[in-house]
Structure 1
């Protein structure tokens, strides 16, 4: 297609006939121009399953690639509105809500903010240039607890303990989850975390120390006990007087001094 006699700020939205019977097709290419030109040409190809020289989209499952090209310099194009028709034949294992559009750039594929018009089987998105598109089915994100540290063996009653959970999101979209710390099945603390697609991170959760089996998000971390008075042993993960290597060293020095005093 050729856009002729365009001016700065002019918007032209011709229909696109290429691939009208295909399960996936570009139906609208609306261009708002950023400079005056006698003619601007754009080429739209039929949907295909291979990306060719562009490389593959790294995330999600590609439904189709849509070749789109223009020789116009970037300053000639201000804004582009894309509309892509996707019918049920292209969705054997994906729901329409999972679809999004990606656009090819010089730095790889960039995800577009995609709007879904379910009644008309259309995906719509805006971009700052004319280039090839990809229709991609993204897996919903979810936060999984994949590992935890061991809670402290012992903590003094009235103080806090902590446990660190490793969480991951194997999906293609960001996900948020409220993680619960339980002791013998009773909730004692919560923390809400958001994990980006494909990300893995560590989250530390503090909770009131109590005896029992500690779990984070349903994943068992280990057991701990709680008591009053001075601990016979100390571990990491508990806060308050009497914990840590420094506290243990001081206690030994005091005990030694008292023993010498008694011998005198």
Structure 2
């Protein structure tokens, strides 16, 4: 269950890494650009602006996100990224903050270069903050005596959900790609009464909220809020600093 409105609460902060990923793609006139995990379409629109003559295909496995993207005027489809296969004219593949949800994403990254034309670009951005206090606190609370019985089927991601940039560089270079990989930690300055809770409610808490009714979600948020406030205290000006590490990979396919 994904909430487009919750996700877009911090639209500027969530879009900034995508803009920086997009800036590292040198392709000038791609025929087709695929956005895998398009969410509500706010980032996909930047692809259409960058390459107005390209066919931009957008997909996401969340019907709610796809509905929001369509409402924004995009031709989006419901599709699991694991089931995607490129058309022969696909020159750019973009996946923004999606593959961290897919345990098999390394297999996808290893497969795509062999399916894409020479010179095609694979551009990926993923959060790399699964060992941050925010995620450790969520895991500890969800597996506590108070909550574990209410969340018996829960599977949460740990630090190994996403690799370091050099590991992705090795994986794609071994498939003949020219690779640019890096990481950035953004010290995000958030505002609001419970800003870190609001942030994780749009993403990290989704697997937990899927297992709870509305009352249970409110209870979990109430238990989590003071823990996050202690870990990320408000500054004198009322803002909260929230460090957020992200991993980037841009790979150019070399099949010649």
TM category (shorter chain) comes to under 0.3
Q: Which has the higher strand share?
A: 1
